[in-house]
Amino acid sequence: MADIWLTSLITKTPQEGFELAIKMARMGVKYTQPSAEVRDRLRDAYANNADSLTAASQVIAVNFQTVAAANNYWK
């Protein structure tokens, strides 16, 4: 992917930081599986699996920790 979408981890608010963390997680999936067709086909399997949803939440949490640290925890 040549598209530059992440230019900074700095956000104005924790809410924006959390939304960035979600975007980072989604882009990680997109980079890992670039085929939209395959992602669409697999979506039902993980969307209805508690372990998959928990794993996704963990990835977002780690990303949020990174964004929060980059923003000095919005102090």
Q: pLDDT tens digits, residue range 17-42?
A: 999 999 999 999 999 999 999 999 99
Domain containing residue 32: 14-74
Average pLDDT, integer, range 58-66: 98
pTM score, whole prediction: 0.91
2 within a domain of the structure (yes/no)? no
**Distance from C-alpha of 22 to C-alpha of 8, rounded to nearest angstrom:** 15
Q: Could you tell me if residue 6 is inside a domain?
A: no
Asked if 17 and 65 touch (Cβ cutoff 8 Å), the reply is: no
Is 44 inside any structural domain?
A: yes
The packing angle between helices 50-70 and 14-32, to 10°, is 120
Q: What does the alpha-carbon distance between residue 44 and residue 29 come to, in Å, rounded to a whole number?
A: 15
Q: What is the mean pLDDT of residues 1-16?
A: 92
Domain assignment present for residue 3? The answer is no
Return the pLDDT at 1: 57
What is the sign, positive or negative, of the torsion defined by CA atoms of 30, 34, 36, 42? negative
**Does residue 4 sit within a domain?**
no
Dig out the tokens for 3 from the structure: 């598209």
**And the tokens for 2?**
């040549």
Mean pLDDT of 1-8: 86
Residue 39 lies in a domain: yes
